[in-house]
Amino acid sequence: MMIYRLVKQYHGMLTTLEKRIPHGLRHTFSTHLLNKGAYLNAIKDLLGHSNLAATQIYTHHSISKLKEIYEQAHPKA
């Protein structure tokens, strides 16, 4: 319970969103792993998903990372 209170306290300092704190942490965790090059199957196992389709939801957040890499590789594009 103490950890939950700490997470909720710091979450309140960072955002105005009140709900879905655990889901937000899972989402952030998986998005960071994906952006740092982790395999989708490894993320699936870490999150405890039974199929890959449930984990693929997190791939749309890496579009910004793809755009950043594209801009670095093709600055005149």
Q: What pLDDT does residue 10 have?
A: 77
What's the DSSP call for residue 76?
T
Positive or negative, the Cα torsion across 13, 15, 20, 22? negative
Residues (pLDDT < 70) of the chain are 15-21, 60-63, 77
Whether 28 maps to a domain, the answer reads: yes
Is there a domain that residue 10 lies in?
A: no
Give me the number of domains the chain comprises: 1
Measure the CA–CA gap between 77 and 72, rounded to whole angstroms.
10
Query: Is 9 part of a structural domain of the chain?
Result: no
Encode pLDDT of 2-18 as tens digits: 887 887 787 777 766 66
Q: Full-prediction pTM beyond 0.85? A: no
pLDDT value, residue 42: 93
pLDDT, the chain, mean: 79
Is residue 6 in a domain?
no
The whole domain housing 66 covers 24-77
Residue 4 lies in a domain: no
| Rounded distance between C-alpha atoms, residue 42 and residue 54, angstroms | 13
